[in-house]
Structure formats: structure tokens, C-alpha cells
Amino acid sequence: RELEKFNECAKSMARNKKIYYLSTDDNKNTALHNALKFGFLDVARELLKREDAFLGVRNKDKQTPLNYANYQFWNEYFDTCLESIGKRGGFENDSIVIDFRNFNPHDPFQTEMIPMMAMSESKELRELLRHPVVNAFI
């Protein structure tokens, strides 16, 4: 029960931007690294909605937030980054909007390709390079 209360509190803080995403702990983990590492997936989903939630931030162990969740989590998350906007006249006139916010580095010494490298270096996550969001970015 206490864990549920903590999770709800942390989700609320993430949603209301009370967590400073760019702050890191002694191991250079962001809030997103830690939420994923400790299994607070709802908190992670809230943090990922933020403009400053770059997936390429590396900690002291050179791990990105991508390394702390499994393929299923990231595949489902990237699915939420796709939005179909239908127009009159049938499916062929639909547009797809892709949200690339998590690929935008906030540090001039980082590159938007860091998340791609992290995915390619992981046997489990490598398949994500075929996801429409990632593939369109590449």
C-alpha cells in the first residue's frame, strides 16, 4: 500500500513537472533512468511526456534510459508517439504525425543519434530500430 502511495505521488510530481528531469544522482542517473530501473513504469511514462526527456542521456555506466526497460515497454511507448489524422476521402488521404520529442538533445555535446546507438548495441532493443517512429527518425 505504501508503494502505491509513493507511485501515485511520483506520477503526480512528474505530471506537474515538480521533478527536474535534468538533475542527476551521484551515478548521473536522471529521474527517467531511476523510474525505469526501479520499475515505476507509470512515472516513466509521465516523464516521457516532457519536452526535456531525451533518451540519449548517459549515466556513469554509459547507459541510457533505454537500457533500463524492456523491448515491450519501448515498443508500446513508441506506438504512443504515432498519431493518425484522418481526412475526408478515405484512408489514402490520412496523415501520420510522429512525436520525436525524446530524440531532441538538450546538451550541445549530445547527439540525437545516441538513442539509436543504444538500441543497436542491445540485442533485446535492436528490433526497435524497425519501429516506425525510430525508422522515420533515422
Beta bridge partners of 84: 96
pTM of the model: 0.83
Is pLDDT at 1 greater than 70 in this prediction? no
Average pLDDT (50-57) is 90
Domain boundaries of the chain, sorted by first residue? 2-137
Question: Is residue 130 over pLDDT 70?
Answer: yes
Residue 14 CB contacts under 8 Å (≥ 6 apart), including other chains: 31, 35, 43, 46, 47, 50
> 1 or 53, which is more confident?
53
Position 94 scores a pLDDT of 74
Per-residue pLDDT at 84: 79
Per CATH, the number for 2-137 is 1.25.40
Q: What is the pLDDT of residues 67-118, one digit of tens each?
A: 999 999 999 999 999 987 766 655 566 788 899 999 999 888 889 999 999 9
Residue pLDDT, tens place only, 5-52: 666 656 666 666 666 667 888 899 888 998 999 898 988 998 999 888
Asked if 129 and 119 touch (Cβ cutoff 8 Å), the reply is yes
Q: Please, which residues have CB within 8 angstroms of residue 107's CB and are 6 or more apart in sequence? A: 54
